[in-house]
Structure formats: structure tokens, C-alpha cells
């Protein structure tokens, strides 16, 4: 069981961490979610059948992220915003200048716009376009048909594009 | 209904076309979608930080040894309780009454004593005349005359036991 657990962590660990990071936009929270998911995987590894692991892991991670996001909207206050802004700034300070240069404005705005997308559009874009998961796995995870996954991804991407264009136009104006 | 179904079909076809496209499609809208898709793909993979794995493994290890820890802790607690119980002194605690308690106790004893004496004297006086000395058959015993005085009351007139002779 331990070997299987280690294999699954090696195979999918990065994927679940990336999903959490893109959904939450916070490194510390994403780490907590990934850790929690791995512990749950250990507890449930025996009951998971071959091939079911990835959809299970994604569902688990996504649900944990959605819980945090719901909690954020409930308890959002000025103080919390100030704290998280300071944290973000501190994280930025920790990065070296060379690394800072690589993170361009476009990527940042893309991530921010993605984080603000409603569900399931955000999850679809992360899973299909960023993580390039196959349609069947995403359909299984989000409980949609394969055609729905394709069409909803198309719509989500277009919605994201319009948002980015509006943002860009507003900055120019 | 029919219209939305058509729209669904059109969007499905476009998505499939985007999936298959190796380069940007000629249609401007679809080309912009394709471009964004490429951009999203390049957002960069995130490696799972080793610290997360380490923390998860620590939590799992702690969960696995939890029953053992609980058993050991229970045994230790039980041993401590038993030891403490055995060490508790068996002798009762010494009672040290205060001076006022002692005075009160003394008064109570004296009152009881005096009342008891009075009641006994009164009862003796009232009942002595009515009491008859039972015939113990002493006269039948040899040397009855020596024994008799011990059974005669001094506080009332001597009533001699009937002499059989």
C-alpha cells in the first residue's frame, strides 16, 4: 500500500498542487490543500480502484479549494484583504530579481482573471487547457458528459478572453 | 430549444477544431481562442514542494502510531493512579477540636450527668416502696445468714427473708 501511495504521489502530486495554486492564488493555502489531499489519499488508497485515482484526487482537491473560496467570500473583510495583500507583497520580496523578471504582467493578469472565473468554468480551463487532462477524466471528475466538457470549456475560454480584453481596453483608456 | 441545440453543436465543432489545430485557425475569433489556449498551456507546471510531502508523511505516521501511543498513555496513567492510591496513608486524619468545641462538649456531658443522677434518685425514691425482693430461696443454701446481707437494700428498712427454720 505504501508503494502504491508513493507512486500516486509521484504521478499526480504536482498536478493537485498546481490545481490548488491556480484556484486559490495563495501558495500557503495550496500547500495545505495538497497536504490534506495526500493524507486523504493514504486513508482511502485501499478503496480506490485502478484508474479511479486521478479523478478522485482532482475531486478531493477541488472540493477543498471550493470550501476555502466559500469561506473567503463569507469572511472577507478589509483587515483580511490588507493581510493577504501584505503577504503577497512579502512573497514577491522573497523572490529574486531574476525570477521576478520572468513573471510578466500578462501571466499575472491571466492567473488573476482565471481565479475570478466562476465554477465550473475555472476548473475546466485548469484541467483541460493548463493541465491538459483527457476529456473522459474531466467529465468523470465534474460529472458532465464528454461533449459538455468540450462545449463548456470552449465557452469558459471565450469568457476568459473577453474579460482579459476588457481589462486591457480599460487600461489603455 | 432547437436554437440552443444548434449553438451547442456549433461550439462543439469549434472546440474539436481547436483541439486538432496545430497552428492558429484562419478565422480571427477562433484564432484568438487558439492563442489563449496556447497561453494557458504555458502557464507553467508547479512542482509539489517536498515540504508538503514531508508534512503529509508525518501526519500519516502520527496517525499510524496513534493507537500505540494511546495504549501506552493509558497504561502510564493507570500505573500512576494505582501508585498514588497505594501511597495514601490508611490512618484517619487527626481531629483537633477548638477550645470552644471542647467547652461545649464538657457542658453537654455535665448536663447529661446531672440530669441522669436526678432522674435515677427520683425514680428510686418513687419505686422503692413498691418493689418486693424476690424470694431467691437463699434459706435453702448452707450458711444463708452470711449471704443474706449482700441482697438486702440499705436505703430501706430491713425486711428479713423468711427464715425457714
Q: Which residue of B has its CA nearest to A159?
A: B33
CB contact under 8 A, A38 and B46: no
- Determine phi and psi for B129, rounding to 5 degrees: -70, -30
Which of B34, B40, B64 should we substitute to test contact with A (largest number of A Cβ atoms within 10 Å)? Answer: B40
This prediction has a pTM of 0.61
Least confident piece of the model among A146-150, B72-76, B86-90: B86-90
C-alpha–C-alpha distance, residues A132 and A65, integer Å? 20
C-alpha–C-alpha distance, residues B20 and B17, integer Å? 5
Within a 13 Å sphere around the CA of B53, how many CA atoms are in the beta-carbon half? 14
Nearest alpha carbon to residue A118 among A56, A66, A58, A54: A66
Q: What angle do CA B98, B109, B107 make, to 5 degrees?
A: 55
**pLDDT averaged over chain A?**
83
A147 in contact with chain B, both atoms CB, cutoff 8 A: yes
Which residues lie below 8 Å from residue B52, measured CB to CB, with a gap of 6+? A13, A17, A31, A34, A35, A38
Residues of B in contact with A21 (CB under 8 A): 46
The pLDDT tens digits for A13-44 are: 999 999 999 999 888 999 999 999 999 998 88
Percentage of residues of chain B with pLDDT beyond 90: 19
Most confident of A76-90, B77-91, B133-147: B77-91
Question: What is the value of ipTM here, to two decimals?
Answer: 0.76
Residues 105-134 of A with CB under 8 A from B: 106-107, 110-111, 114, 125, 129-130, 132
Amino acid at each position: 500500500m505504501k508503494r502504491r501511495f508513493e507512486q500516486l504521489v509521484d504521478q499526480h502530486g504536482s498536478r493537485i498542487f498546481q490545481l490548488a495554486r491556480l484556484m486559490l492564488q495563495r501558495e500557503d493555502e495550496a500547500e495545505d490543500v495538497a497536504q490534506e489531499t495526500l493524507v486523504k489519499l493514504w486513508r482511502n488508497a485501499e478503496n480506490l480502484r485502478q484508474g479511479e485515482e486521478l479523478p478522485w484526487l482532482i475531486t478531493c482537491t477541488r472540493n477543498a479549494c471550493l470550501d476555502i473560496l466559500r469561506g473567503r467570500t463569507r469572511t472577507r473583510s478589509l483587515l483580511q484583504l490588507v493581510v493577504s495583500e501584505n503577504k503577497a507583497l512579502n512573497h514577491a520580496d522573497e523572490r529574486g530579481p531574476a525570477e521576478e523578471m520572468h513573471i510578466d504582467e500578462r501571466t499575472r493578469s491571466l492567473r488573476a482573471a482565471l481565479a475570478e472565473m466562476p465554477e465550473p468554468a475555472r476548473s475546466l480551463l485548469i484541467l483541460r487547457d493548463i493541465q491538459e487532462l483527457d476529456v473522459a477524466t474531466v467529465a468523470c471528475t465534474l460529472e458532465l458528459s464528454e461533449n459538455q466538457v468540450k462545449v463548456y470549456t470552449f465557452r469558459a475560454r471565450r469568457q476568459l478572453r473577453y474579460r482579459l480584453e476588457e481589462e486591457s481596453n480599460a487600461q489603455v483608456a | 430549444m432547437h436554437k440552443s441545440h444548434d449553438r451547442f453543436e456549433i461550439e462543439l465543432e469549434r472546440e474539436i477544431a481547436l483541439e486538432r489545430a496545430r497552428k492558429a485557425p484562419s478565422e480571427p475569433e477562433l484564432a484568438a481562442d487558439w492563442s489563449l489556449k496556447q497561453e494557458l498551456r504555458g502557464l507553467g507546471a508547479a512542482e509539489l514542494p517536498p515540504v508538503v510531502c514531508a508534512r503529509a508523511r508525518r501526519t500519516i505516521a502520527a496517525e499510524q502510531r496513534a493507537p500505540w501511543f494511546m495504549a501506552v498513555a493509558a497504561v502510564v496513567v493507570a500505573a500512576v493512579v494505582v501508585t498514588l492510591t497505594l501511597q495514601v496513608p490508611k490512618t484517619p486524619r487527626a481531629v483537633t477540636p477548638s477550645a470552644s468545641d471542647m467547652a461545649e462538649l464538657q457542658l453537654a456531658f455535665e448536663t447529661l450527668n446531672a440530669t441522669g443522677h436526678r432522674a435515677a434518685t427520683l425514680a428510686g425514691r418513687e419505686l422503692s416502696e413498691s418493689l418486693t425482693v424476690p424470694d431467691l430461696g437463699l434459706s435453702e443454701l448452707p450458711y444463708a445468714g452470711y449471704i443474706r446481707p449482700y441482697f438486702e437494700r440499705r436505703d430501706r428498712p430491713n425486711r428479713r427473708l423468711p427464715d425457714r427454720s
